[in-house]
Structure 1
Amino acid sequence: MIQFFAYSESVFCAKVRIALDMKGLEYAELPPPDGYGSKTYKAIIPSGSIPGLKDGNAGLSDSNAILEYLEETAPSPALLPEAAAERALVRMLMGMHDTRIEPSVRAFYAPIKAGTSPSDPCYHQLIENMGAAFERLEDLIEAAPYAVGHHVTLVECAYATTFSQAHQLATMFGGELKLGPKCQRWWQEMQSLSHAATSIDINRKAMQDWVAKFIQVDA
């Protein structure tokens, strides 16, 4: 059975979980033994990072590499389109998630861990920055109803919990994640996907608990 090493608050782990669930694969989800970066964990996943996937002799890290591996080893249902241009668009949007969108959400983590008061103006600036990052998606997605046409792809695996976490953090700090009409429509479709909804719920509860370790905010 596949071993999937993850933390529930991580959106990178969530994207792998969603793909595993969509493909109907059997797996055991585990925390990295002795924590990520530990010698024990590196003996299983050499990079020592999460998410990690152990499948037979393969010990993989990097969420996008894991998704590509799953697509090649368990090709049905397909989460990459057949057309080369659409496959490239999926990969472009995945890269944008990791380099632009997710970092705008993760920017909240440092002040939260530092115990910065929820009333501090820095959070309002972070909400604005996050909204600006999401605004970049509006002209890049089709939302017809999914990001790349009529079929669920790896893009939905990547973005579902990130949208959720962005909304959650904005609400916690008295703001709102403003989305354009296409992004709003896409977000509604992602929430209707049962496997995505499961990971959204897992991530939301984990983030609520994680934030509560450092500061007290409204849920």
Structure 2
Amino acid sequence: MNRLYHFPLSPFCRKVRLVLAEKKIEVELVEEKYWEPSTEFLRRNPAGKVPVLKIDGMTLSDSQAICEYLEETMPDPALLPRDPAQRAEVRRLVAWFDDKFHHDVTVNLVHERVHKKLMRSGYPDGRAMKSGATNVKFHIKYMHWLLDHRRWLAGDQMTLADFAAAAQLSCLDYISDVDWSLSAPVKDWYAKVKSRPAFRSILADQIFGFPQPAHYADLDF
């Protein structure tokens, strides 16, 4: 049995879960408190980070390395285009959401509101949350611009870039930190992504002490 060691409100774990589900790869989900890593978990990934995927007799870590492995070994349905230029654009946007969006927004909101409480590592930093709330508006504007020129974020087809973005936004949406009224195209795009069967398990996530908002699993918001 394939096994994914994950934390439900990690956008990187969610990205991998979306790829696995889209490619119809069955996997057992094992929740891991990465901030309290066991010796056994550190053997799987000395960096002490999730996600970690056990598949094909191997143990893989780093969300992008995992996604690229899945794409190369199980290319249907394709989440990376064949054209090198288009493939580079997908990878650029994946890096944008995994790095810039995550540090500009997700760390300042999800980490401050949720992870700090779960980890018992102090109180939310008001300045960080204010920064995250400001930064998310910039990123939604950028996504709006992309969707004004494209059907999906990276082009005419849904790609890994859409999953990387949706993984980040779904974590924010779980704590009601996305103002969907800022952009109708972005709201419509997210509705398309979260309506996919691959999104079902993510919409069913429950974080102890943080109940889902009423709209979170509503496909029509």
Aligned residue for 1:180?
183
3-state SS, counterpart of residue 75 of structure 2: coil
User: What is the alpha-carbon root mean square deviation over aligned residues?
Assistant: 3.0
Q: Distance in 2 between matches of 1:145 and 1:169?
A: 28
Match of 2:199 in 1: 196
Deviation of residue 26 (structure 1)? 2.0
* SS, match of residue 60 in structure 1: strand
Q: Secondary structure at the match of 1:136?
A: helix
Q: Deviations over 1:98-147 (max 9, x none)?
A: 11212212212236533349xx6864553122222332333344675322
Structure 1 residue aligned with 2:123 = 115
How is 1:1-219 mapped onto 2 (pairs within 5 angstroms)? 1-32=1-32, 37-103=37-103, 104-108=105-109, 109-110=111-112, 113=116, 114-116=122-124, 123-141=129-147, 144-171=150-177, 176=179, 179-202=182-205, 205-206=206-207, 209=208, 211=210
The 1:143–1:9 alpha-carbon spacing in structure 2 relative to 1, beyond 3 Å, is: farther
Assess, with a 3 A threshold, how the Cα gap between structure 1 residues 53 and 192 changes in structure 2: closer, same or farther. same
- 1:186 Cα deviation from its structure 2 partner: 1.6
1:215 corresponds to: none
> Which stretch shows the higher mean deviation, 153-162 or 105-114?
105-114
DSSP-derived class of the 2:144 partner: coil
Structure 2 residues not aligned, in runs of 5+: 117-121, 215-221
**Structure 1 segments unaligned to the other structure (5+ residues):** 213-217
**Aligned-pair CA distance for 1:81:** 1.1
- The 3 A distance-change label for structure 1 pair 106 and 143 is farther
Task: Label 1:200 to 1:161 Cα distance change in 2 as closer, same or farther (>3 A).
Answer: farther
